[in-house]
Amino acid sequence: MEFAFQTDPGMVRPHNEDSGGIFKNDHGVLAVVADGMGGHQAGDIASSMTKDYFRTLWEQHEGNLTINETEQWLVEHVIHLNEKLYQHANEHEECKGMGTTVVVAYCTKEFVSIAHIGDSRAYVKNENGFQLKTNDHSLVQELVNTGQISEQEAEHHPRRNVLLRALGTGLDIKVDVSTFPADESEYLLLCSDGLTNKLSLDDIEEQLQANVDIEQKATNLIKLANERGGEDNITVAIISMSTAGSDGSSG
């Protein structure tokens, strides 16, 4: 698999509270994007702890898992990480209230499993088009789901950044997980809302289709979000499923 990971503070914020990376072992690739939140620089800590936790896990991970085992592995580790973040916040005064979104993709040649909490997203591009594979755990998305506002109204809603679920803010969490077949023609994109608040589906698909290498695709996505204001941190992880066996660049 070929892959690229990039993160950028954007044009306004002094710190980058996003983190993540793409990690490779003998069994496949694990991609992580986390968008931290909290007072001072606690968001940086929550997202960095998330990245480090999954990187270490992947370095130690052995054995090929079935789809059911993979989904269980993802859910168990997200729950365990949530406990670690919550404990850290309680033990360090400067980290009180910290949390993070997380979207994690476990990628093999046969299938991709995604787990997520919050409003960082996963998209897939293949012969069937470009599709969102996650559902935001946000107030605005809940208003859309219940028919109180339209998708168009959601894009400019003043409370669109209010999350209903986040990692590390409480012990009782629910992890969404889904799996789909790996398709030789597809791209997988994980990103923080710093990208999706600035770019439409068509914008993102156009950049993924551009005739440039995968690292440049990531660069161009971030550049475009910054050109449109870049008020938030921006993170993208792109995996091409079409070149199994080739090395990419990790974060």
Domain coordinates of the chain in residue numbers? 2-240
Residue 103 pairs in a beta bridge with 33, 116
Residue 212 DSSP label = S
Please tell me the predicted confidence (pLDDT) of residue 165: 92
Task: Please provide residue 73's backbone torsions phi and psi, each rounded to the nearest 5 degrees.
Answer: -60, -45
Please tell me the predicted confidence (pLDDT) of residue 251: 53
Query: Residue 1 — very low, low, confident or very high, per pLDDT cuts 50/70/90?
Result: confident
Question: Strands across the sheet with 187-191, in order?
Answer: 2-8, 234-240, 187-191, 121-126, 129-132
Three-state SS for 64? coil
Query: Residue 248 — very low, low, confident or very high, per pLDDT cuts 50/70/90?
Result: low
pLDDT digits (tens, 9 = 90+) for 39-79: 667 999 999 999 999 999 999 998 789 999 999 999 999 99
Please tell me the predicted confidence (pLDDT) of residue 74: 98
Q: Please give the share of the chain, as a percent, with pLDDT higher than 70.
A: 95
pLDDT digits (tens, 9 = 90+) for 103-145: 999 999 999 999 999 999 999 999 888 999 999 988 888 888 8
Please tell me the predicted confidence (pLDDT) of residue 141: 83
pLDDT digits (tens, 9 = 90+) for 187-235: 999 999 999 999 999 999 999 999 999 999 999 999 999 999 999 999 9
Higher pLDDT, 71 or 248: 71
Measured CA angle at 118 (ends 22, 154), to 5 deg:
120
CATH number, domain 2-240: 3.60.40.10
- Cβ proximity of 192 and 233 under 8 Å: yes
Residue 104 pairs in a beta bridge with 32, 115
How many other C-beta atoms lie within 10 A of the C-beta of residue 61?
18
Q: Please give the share of the chain, as a percent, with pLDDT higher than 90.
A: 78
- Cβ proximity of 207 and 6 under 8 Å: no
Please tell me the predicted confidence (pLDDT) of residue 150: 84
Intra-chain end-to-end CA distance of the chain, in Å = 15
Please tell me the predicted confidence (pLDDT) of residue 145: 87
C-alpha 125: how far from its chain's center?
16
Which among 225, 243, 248 has a CA at the least distance from the CA of 235? 225
Asked if the model's pLDDT at residue 246 lies above 50, the reply is no
pLDDT digits (tens, 9 = 90+) for 96-113: 999 999 999 999 999 999
Range in 19-23, 155-159, 206-210 the model is least confident about:
155-159
- How far apart are the C-alpha atoms of 186 and 170, rounded to whole Å? 36
* Six token digits for residue 146: 């219940």
The reported pTM is 0.93
- 131-144: string of b/e by CB count within 10 Å (b at 16+)? eebbebbbbbbebb
Which among 248, 225, 226 has a CA at the least distance from the CA of 237? 248
Query: Residue 156 — very low, low, confident or very high, per pLDDT cuts 50/70/90?
Result: confident
Please tell me the predicted confidence (pLDDT) of residue 99: 96
